[in-house]
Amino acid sequence: MPELPELQALAEGLNTALSGQKISTVRAHLPGALKSADPPAQELVGQKITKAWRRGKLIGIDTDHLSIVIHLMSAGRLGITDSQAARPPRNAIFDVGLADDRRLRLRELSSKHRATVHVLTPEALGTHGPLARLGPEPLGLAPEAWKAAISEPQARLHTALRAGRRVAGIGRCYADEIMWAAKLAPFTSTTRLDDEHWVRLAKAADIVLGQAIDRARERISIDLPNKEARVTAAHGHYGDPCLRCSTDLERVSYVSYELVYCPQCQTGGKVYADRRRSRFLR
């Protein structure tokens, strides 16, 4: 799933490439992906793009009078293409044609269609639920602001980090990375973290996300790749030695993903049972 670093790099690249471009056509290849009806998407035709932006895991495209808000979900991919083929690829969902014959295309790499597009007026944008419900952005967030954002109601740390209504833009990958960098146990309760823990969490988030954004900018500009070429210390490295202490990294497996952690650095030697709804091994 694309997360904050990849989407930030994409938004920056799209902003440079699209600003000032006029929209010539709009086409929904999968009508169900277009979740708004008023105003009609065709009202975008003839408008000039003024800005591309990111908020949480959402990508926005502003025009003179309207905004397009895109949620890629887990399998959506967005980018500018020069292809003028009469028949779009089978995974194409939504196209915004540009006056220079390029097009901004939303694709989805899954048969489970979850990516969404909304066309909104400025007034509707201000109250758009997926945006209005988002918590603060994590980069530069002070320790006390982290505490205010995710400590209540009580939750396991790894769950709270991925809840966009608490803090925006973090998914499974960077939650693993932040917890590993901060030496925090994934299943610890957010209500049990002390002041030192919040300081470590804030510092780790800035380092992990800041470095990931820098790396993403090197490979992502106007198109989101099908696969994320991420550099990670914990996520995806189950069974490998921890880069700090050389202890083999452990995991908790869920239906569609796994949580990876170091039992020495993060949980004081305790190993979580590798099953759904994990508990500590007794």
Cβ neighbours of residue 215 closer than 8 Å, sequence gap 6 or more: 5, 230, 231
Is the domain of 161 the same as that of 116? no
Give the helix/strand (H/E) hosting 201. Answer: helix 195-219
- pLDDT reported for residue 85: 66
Q: Which two tokens stand for residue 194?
A: 């002390």
Predicted local confidence at residue 278, as pLDDT: 44
Say if 271 falls within a structural domain: no
Is there a single domain that holds both residue 34 and residue 128? yes
Q: Are residue 128 and residue 147 in the same domain, yes or no?
A: no
- Asked whether residue 89 falls in the same domain as residue 180, the answer is no
Residue 152 lies in a domain: yes
User: Which CATH number is 167's domain given?
Assistant: 1.10.8.50
Nearest Cα to 102, choosing from 23, 217, 12, 19? 23
User: pLDDT tens, 63-84?
Assistant: 999 999 999 999 999 999 987 6
Angstrom distance (rounded) from CA 205 to CA 177:
9
Between CA 198 and CA 95 the distance in angstroms is 43
H or E stretch covering 103 = strand 103-108
Residue-wise pLDDT for 219-274, tens only, equals 999 999 988 889 999 999 999 999 999 999 999 998 778 999 999 999 999 999 87
Distance CA 120, CA 199 (A): 39
Cis preceding linkage at 40, omega within 30: no
Distance CA 52, CA 7 (A): 11
**Does 276 reside within a domain?**
no
Q: Are residues 100 and 182 in the same domain?
A: no
Q: Return the pLDDT at 282.
A: 38
Going by their DSSP bridges, the two strands 250-253 and 258-261 should be labelled as: antiparallel
Domain that holds residue 186: 143-261
- If asked whether residues 168 and 78 sit together in one domain, one would say no
What total of structural domains would you count in the chain?
Answer: 2
The span from the CA of 84 to the CA of 107, in Å, is 16
- 124 & 36 share domain: yes
The CATH number covering residue 83 comes to: 3.20.190.10
* Domain final residue pick, 113, 132, 151: 132
Residue 273 forms part of a structural domain: no
Largest pairwise CA distance in the chain = 65
What pTM did the predictor assign? 0.93
Residue 250 is assigned to a structural domain of this protein: yes
Contacts of 277 (CB under 8 A, 6+ apart): none
Average pLDDT per run of 10 along the chain, which is 282 residues long?
96 98 96 95 98 98 98 95 80 95 94 94 96 98 98 97 98 98 97 97 98 97 91 97 98 90 97 65 40
Residue finishing a domain among 99, 132, 165: 132
| CB of 199 closer than 8 Å to CB of 281 | no
- What lies within 8 Å, CB to CB, of 85 at 6+ separation is none
Helix (H, G, I), strand (E, B) or coil at 181: helix
Q: Are residues 80 and 176 in the same domain?
A: no
Domain boundary among 132, 159, 182: 132
